[in-house]
Structure 1
Amino acid sequence: MFEIFKIGIGPSSSHTVGPMKIAQAFVNIAQDKDVLQDTHKIKIELFGSLGATGIGHSSDKAVVLGLIGMNPENINMKIAKVRFEEVLEHKKINLLEIKRVDFDFTKDLVLYANKFLDFHSNGIKLHFFDKNGKVLLSKTYYSIGGGAILDEEDIGKSENEESVTLPYSFNSADELLMKCRENSLSISTLMMENEKSIRSEEEVKEKLLEIWKVMEECIKIGCETTGVLPKMGVRKRANEIFNRLKSKDGFSMIDPLEVMDWINLWALAVNEENACGGKIVTAPTNGAAGVIPSVIQYMNRFLGNSLKEYDEDKIVKFLLTAGAIGILYQKNASISGADVGCQGEVGVACSMAAGALAEAMGGSIEQVENAAEIGMEHNLGLTCDPVGGLVQIPCIERNAMAAMKAVNAARMALNGDGKHFVSLDNVIKTMFETGKDMMNKYKETSQGGLAVNIVEC
């Protein structure tokens, strides 16, 4: 569960959170190998999508902060800003804040926009040298989506399921449904039983509610904040919509579709805060972080008994179900826009939210699977072509559209009996194949689609 939902910072899980974690892991290895004190010079190389959109996604800044020793889960942004500005001003970086070396952004950090490594589009190479130019440590990493990272040396190694035998492990949606049927379990209950193999039920609930707390706070900040988004100067919209909606006397039956405005608002608020580099939850990525919080808030506000008191158990079950669906995509496809396009980010988030909402609304396991399938089927082929390499356009609006689509998918599934022609397993396989067939210019490189058809003034 907590490989799917992780607390971090914006604007991108794969381009900001991942690179920061990679740099931190590398410098920690250097310290463990006793080569940090002998380091005199460093070089960092960003490849593929990281090279093409690294500036827009603050990948360069993230790597520097990671080398200083900062972690995306508990980073103090005020301190981070000061440290980063010191690096720019003095052209020196303090590795783990114990070893100060020269660092020039124009020479020591190289972004290769058209050069790709074999395994994944998000590749990073890091090198430490001594005073004579001899390589002390050199490693290649990949940021594979949702903040997850992979050392090149670990590629192809068999996975160890946390050294824990899960009571209900599953590798496909069919297997998940089969184990639910055999044991008379809902998807959320099965997931909880698996999580209890690693930590207590109380800890699982506590961590999931902390995840929701960060999501909810992100909605709040996004709704209350005005101004423009960084770098491109796109005007924030969430606050204006929020003020207009809250000025009305409750939900209007004159316009029953007003609920759509609220769903759109919550998704926009989260992704505007993400674009500003705020505290965010990967769900399953930062680029798609607004979908699940928006749908949960819809469940809380419009499907609950009170506008003030949330049903915490329902939120926990929602996240457990969404997590199960996310795991299927992570195991059998990809959640990286640089790997399979935006269908792997917003599409997966839509599928997760749709299935989770279907269970929250009383759906059977078959209806949950159907909702998740609908959510992805109608996101197949969705490209990732951010304008200027930034997450403002079209990513923010796309989250709002996907949140609405998730609600619709859940309701469509609940109006059926769970029987349908295309299975979730088939649509996951199709998404992965579609992503692999997609041209690189449509996979988070900003070299095709909207990214090149909008004239920037």
Structure 2
Amino acid sequence: MPHEAISVFDIFKIGVGPSSSHTLGPWRAAQQFVTRLTDQNRLNQVSHLKVLLYGSLAKTGKGHGTDVAVLLGLCNEDPVTIDVDSIDPKFQSIHSNRVLPLNGTLDLSFDPKKDLEFLMNESLPFHPNALSFLVTLHNGEAFSETFYSIGGGFVVKEGETNNDKEQVDLPFPINTSEEVLHWCRKTGLHISDVVLENEHAWREESATRAGLTKIWEVMKACVYRGCHTEGILPGGLNVQRRAAALNKRLLKDRSYTNFESWVKAIRDGGNDFKYILDWVSCFALSVNEENASFGRVVTAPTNGAAGVIPAVFLYYYVFCEGADINKIHQAMLTASEVGSIFKKGATISAAMGGCQAEIGVSSAMAAAGLTEVLGGSQRQCLMAAEIAMEHHLGLTCDPIGGLVQVPCIERNTMGAIKAITATQLALQSAPDYAKVSLDTVVKTMWDTARDMSFKYKETAEGGLAVHIPISLPEC
């Protein structure tokens, strides 16, 4: 069986909320399309452009900001570097002026109400998250290209396969958890060490560590900003932000001036179980409130589940063994391998597998990473990942109003707490006696995903989404 090479930086991507599959993926697809036009010397020949959104992208696209992402991607804005405060003004400018600065250089007549279509009742067979770009050139020639956002910010162009991509030979090729254990037994390395060796196929270790540190800094900044921002989340559901109020209540009158002094103020509050529990919830809430507000987050492995890993790793950073960046690197590397195994053997797309594919996978990733840095063996790490996912199996994706807010934000707190619990169970258990392997739970998750009704897969047509009466404004 061929081994798909997935880097830690494929799993952890810096981007903009609220969704990796519905925001970041379409954004990247639009950028790729513009790059192809430029490479083919067709950009300046474009006279008309139309965008079609299919399936889940159509049904929950407004709530997930798919229209915003596509238009900014066509402008060649980058989700990693764009000033998040400029997103809405740029989007509104296109709407009001009916002009799209294609690639930031060509002012193209474009009416989003007519030229960006949400095809609610049409879905393409390869994946529910599909979008097509239809182009007419000045000479009358017309053509189209279709892309699929397959989860976690990953994008596939129709007609392309893995064989079309640059092939990377890894020293330790891995598709399954059993293969992870094989290499660990053979080398005596920790899971994180095996992953780090594989990363050498792409770059030097120093570059990998610098990249991991940057990811961690973005996670910390997101938590800090979310814990200090009040107000109502956008989208019309009128959800009140809670992280800032909880942060203030937990800290009482302790003062601080930056992230590190904030961490000290948190530590000074003690280590009572309820206190720690509240902080883990606060960390997770803060990230996903930022995510819901088009803030800068890290896919972990998706935007909708972006709060689980920062919350769990900050639990370790603040309340366990301190601020050793190398330990954080370890946790991230191990977590990324678990995310890769789920992507290869099942899915990390809620449109394909429900919320078990997002919160469930992120919880499993966090549990594995935390277990390693707390001294767990390789088998205990994978056992922790299995426990975390086992108790997310069947979790549906039923966002009210198609917004990544209810129940999504609170689900991140649940995923974080389950990850910590799974870690503690694994550390106190002997994997020899485990009845379920991680590979078995991956297969079970995929079977469950295929059996699940489509209405529970990020369509806002089932579950809470149809039982909570709301009236959202037209976007």
TM-score normalized with structure 2 length: 0.92
Q: Which residue of 1 aligns with 2:311?
A: 294
Q: CA deviation at 1:251?
A: 3.6
CA contact (8 A) 1:237 1:268 kept: yes
Equivalent residue for 2:150, pick from 144, 152, 156: 144
Instruction: Give the distance between the partners of 2:429 and 2:394, measured in 1 at CA.
Output: 26
Runs of 4+ in 1 over 4 A off after TM superposition: none
- Matched position secondary structure for 2:130: strand
Instruction: Give the distance between the partners of 1:442 and 1:434, measured in 2 at CA.
Output: 12
Equivalent residue for 1:423, pick from 437, 446, 455: 437
- Matched position secondary structure for 1:158: helix
Equivalent residue for 1:236, pick from 229, 236, 241: 241
Instruction: Give the distance between the partners of 2:286 and 2:391, measured in 1 at CA.
Output: 24
Q: Which residue of 1 aligns with 2:4?
A: none
Equivalent residue for 1:35, pick from 31, 38, 42: 42
- Matched position secondary structure for 1:229: coil
Q: Which residue of 2 aligns with 1:76?
A: 83
1:149-160 alignment runs, 5 A limit:
149-155=155-161, 157-158=162-163
Q: CA deviation at 1:133?
A: 5.2
Q: Which residue of 2 aligns with 1:353?
A: 366
Instruction: Give the distance between the partners of 1:370 and 1:213, measured in 2 at CA.
Output: 29
Instruction: Give the distance between the partners of 1:376 and 1:398, measured in 2 at CA.
Output: 14
- Matched position secondary structure for 2:376: coil
Q: Which residue of 2 aligns with 1:395?
A: 408
Equivalent residue for 2:189, pick from 178, 185, 189: 185
- Matched position secondary structure for 2:234: coil
Q: Which residue of 2 aligns with 1:377?
A: 390
Q: CA deviation at 1:104?
A: 1.0
Equivalent residue for 1:201, pick from 186, 205, 214: 205
Q: CA deviation at 1:92?
A: 1.4
Computed over aligned residues only, the root mean square deviation of the Cα atoms, in angstroms, reads 1.5
Q: Which residue of 2 aligns with 1:98?
A: 105
CA contact (8 A) 2:393 2:448 kept: yes
Aligned CA distance change for structure 1 residues 107 and 337 (closer, same or farther; 3 Å): same
Aligned CA distance change for structure 1 residues 133 and 444 (closer, same or farther; 3 Å): farther
Q: CA deviation at 1:83?
A: 2.8
Unaligned runs of 5+ in 1: none
Q: CA deviation at 1:269?
A: 0.3
Instruction: Give the distance between the partners of 1:302 and 1:100, measured in 2 at CA.
Output: 53
Aligned CA distance change for structure 1 residues 416 and 201 (closer, same or farther; 3 Å): same
Q: Which residue of 2 aligns with 1:331?
A: 344
Q: Which amino acid aligns with 2:440?
A: N
Q: CA deviation at 1:73?
A: 1.6
Q: Which residue of 2 aligns with 1:129?
A: 136
Q: CA deviation at 1:163?
A: 3.2
Instruction: Give the distance between the partners of 2:156 and 2:82, measured in 1 at CA.
Output: 21
Unaligned runs of 5+ in 2: 1-7, 255-267
CA contact (8 A) 1:325 1:355 kept: yes
* Deviates most, 319-328 or 87-96: 87-96
Q: Which amino acid aligns with 1:291?
A: V
CA contact (8 A) 2:172 2:183 kept: yes
Instruction: Give the distance between the partners of 1:241 and 1:387, measured in 2 at CA.
Output: 24
Q: Which amino acid aligns with 1:427?
A: V
Equivalent residue for 2:283, pick from 229, 245, 266: 266
Instruction: Give the distance between the partners of 2:140 and 2:88, measured in 1 at CA.
Output: 31
Instruction: Give the distance between the partners of 2:352 and 2:168, measured in 1 at CA.
Output: 29
Q: Deviations over 1:212-241 (max 9, x none)?
A: 000000000000000010012100000111
Q: Which amino acid aligns with 1:445?
A: T
- Matched position secondary structure for 1:257: helix
Alignment of 1:344 onto 2:357: yes
Equivalent residue for 2:376, pick from 353, 363, 367: 363
Q: Which amino acid aligns with 1:301?
A: V
Q: Which amino acid aligns with 1:51?
A: A
CA contact (8 A) 2:251 2:269 kept: no
CA contact (8 A) 1:113 1:445 kept: no
Q: Deviations over 1:137-172 (max 9, x none)?
A: 3101000111110001114x5376x53321111111
Instruction: Give the distance between the partners of 1:324 and 1:396, measured in 2 at CA.
Output: 25
CA contact (8 A) 2:184 2:190 kept: yes
Instruction: Give the distance between the partners of 1:119 and 1:73, measured in 2 at CA.
Output: 28
Q: Which amino acid aligns with 2:465?
A: A
Instruction: Give the distance between the partners of 2:241 and 2:88, measured in 1 at CA.
Output: 22
Q: Which residue of 2 aligns with 1:318?
A: 331
- Matched position secondary structure for 1:40: strand
Q: Which residue of 2 aligns with 1:163?
A: 167
Instruction: Give the distance between the partners of 2:453 and 2:109, measured in 1 at CA.
Output: 39
CA contact (8 A) 2:307 2:412 kept: yes
Q: Deviations over 1:371-393 (max 9, x none)?
A: 00001000000000100000110
- Matched position secondary structure for 1:142: strand
Q: Which amino acid aligns with 1:54?
A: G
- Matched position secondary structure for 1:124: strand
- Matched position secondary structure for 1:2: helix
CA contact (8 A) 1:364 1:418 kept: no
Instruction: Give the distance between the partners of 1:298 and 1:248, measured in 2 at CA.
Output: 21
- Matched position secondary structure for 2:49: strand
Calculate percent identity across the aligned residue pairs.
Answer: 45
Instruction: Give the distance between the partners of 1:173 and 1:116, measured in 2 at CA.
Output: 33
CA contact (8 A) 1:14 1:336 kept: yes
Instruction: Give the distance between the partners of 2:301 and 2:217, measured in 1 at CA.
Output: 16
Q: Which residue of 2 aligns with 1:257?
A: 274
